[in-house]
């Protein structure tokens, strides 16, 4: 199965390119202490707003800090928020969607109405309201994005459960006396995760974009810790004299979000069994 999925995935060159970029970004984040040429918080008042050159390829900011080093360290914050926030969202969405789809009836109605209520709130403004109450930090951002991003996952999982619980392998499991938890976790959930994986890739892109927006507004990762969003804030404040402070983090956000979306598109096609049948 994995071999078939990989063969289908690699037929899409844009998705493969996106996966390569994501791998490179992950390596940069993992080995940031080794790769970054300078400390991301090291201030040099004699080299303020220096344009890109051989010493500082991405220039320096208003405090003389090396932008390339801050970009490399900032990738840690963006990827951490993306993966952990989406992990929280998937866990919550899978639990709620599984219960709604498997048990049906009143449980399904109550849970889906709760999902509808959550979807009625503008997520970004809800996040802004919560962060205005609690102290902004990267941990707060991860938790809030995760707690407000599970609704689509729950709907996907519920839809899969409504189909899978009527299959013969579930009936066979019931016939041999398998308990409901065993049927859910051993037999149905493993077969319901394909659309969840696709949703996760798009969710990571959305979480990175949300974190960057919050940091740009000063409600995300707090200085002196670097993130692509707060580097953009420096670029906004110095847009007329330091174009590199806006260009490089903006490109990093664009390329990262685009890469995750391309991988999501490739996974969606690779995991679609209807396309396998068409190829046969």
* Each residue's pLDDT tens digit, 172-215: 888 888 888 888 888 888 888 888 888 888 889 888 888 888 88
pLDDT at 279: 53
Give the Cα separation of 207 and 200 in Å (integer): 10
Give the Cα separation of 42 and 52 in Å (integer): 17
pLDDT at 31: 93
Assign 275 a pLDDT band (cuts: 50, 70, 90): low
Comparing CA positions, the residue from 67, 65, 76, 66 lying closest to residue 32 is 76
Give the Cα separation of 115 and 93 in Å (integer): 10
Give the Cα separation of 216 and 234 in Å (integer): 9
Cβ proximity of 149 and 123 under 8 Å = yes
Helix (H, G, I), strand (E, B) or coil at 48: coil
Spans of all domains in the chain: 68-255
Residues near 198 by beta carbon (within 8 Å), at least 6 away in sequence:
264, 267, 268, 271
pLDDT at 127: 80
Q: Give the mean pLDDT of the chain.
A: 86
Cβ proximity of 87 and 146 under 8 Å = yes
Read off the pLDDT of each residue in 137-142 and give the average, rounded to a whole number: 83
Of residues 137 and 26, more confidently modeled: 26
Read off the pLDDT of each residue in 17-39 and give the average, rounded to a whole number: 92
Which H or E element spans position 104?
none
Assign 70 a pLDDT band (cuts: 50, 70, 90): very high
**Statement: residue 228 has pLDDT above 70:** yes
**Statement: residue 113 has pLDDT above 60:** yes
Residue identified by tokens 């071999």 is: 3
Architecture of domain 68-255: Orthogonal Bundle (1.10)
Q: Pick left, alpha or beta for residue 44 (phi over 0 → left; psi -120 to 50 → alpha; otherwise beta).
A: beta
pTM: 0.86
pLDDT at 22: 93
Read off the pLDDT of each residue in 71-86 and give the average, rounded to a whole number: 89
**Statement: residue 256 has pLDDT above 80:** yes
Percent of the chain residues topping a pLDDT of 70: 96
Q: Which of 57-61, 83-87, 95-99, 168-172 has the lowest mean pLDDT?
A: 168-172
pLDDT at 185: 85
């Amino acid at each position: 199965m994995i071999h078939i999925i990989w063969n289908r995935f690699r037929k899409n060159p844009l998705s493969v390119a996106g996966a390569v970029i994501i791998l490179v970004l992950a390596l940069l984040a993992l080995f940031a202490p080794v790769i970054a040429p300078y400390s991301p918080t090291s201030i040099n008042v004699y080299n303020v707003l220096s344009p890109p050159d051989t010493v500082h390829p991405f220039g320096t900011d208003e405090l003389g800090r090396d932008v390339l080093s801050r970009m490399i360290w900032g990738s840690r914050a963006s990827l951490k928020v993306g993966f952990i926030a989406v992990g929280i969202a998937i866990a919550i969405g899978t639990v709620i969607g599984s219960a709604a789809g498997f048990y049906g009836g009143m449980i399904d109605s109550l849970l889906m109405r709760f999902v509808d209520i959550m979807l009625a709130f503008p997520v970004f403004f809800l996040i802004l309201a919560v962060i205005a109450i609690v102290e902004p930090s990267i941990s707060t951002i991860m938790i809030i994005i995760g707690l407000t991003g599970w609704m689509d996952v729950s709907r996907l999982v519920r839809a899969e459960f409504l189909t899978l619980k009527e299959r013969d392998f579930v009936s066979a499991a019931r016939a041999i006396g398998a308990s409901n938890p065993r049927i859910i976790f051993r037999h149905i959930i493993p077969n319901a995760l394909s659309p969840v994986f696709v949703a996760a890739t798009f969710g990571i892109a959305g979480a990175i974009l949300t974190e960057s927006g919050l940091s740009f507004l000063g409600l995300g990762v707090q200085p002196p810790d670097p993130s692509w969003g707060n580097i953009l804030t420096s670029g906004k404040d110095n847009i007329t004299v330091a174009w590199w402070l806006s260009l490089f983090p903006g490109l990093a956000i664009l390329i990262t979000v685009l890469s995750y979306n391309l991988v999501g598109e490739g996974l969606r096609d690779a995991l679609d069994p209807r396309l396998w049948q068409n190829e046969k």
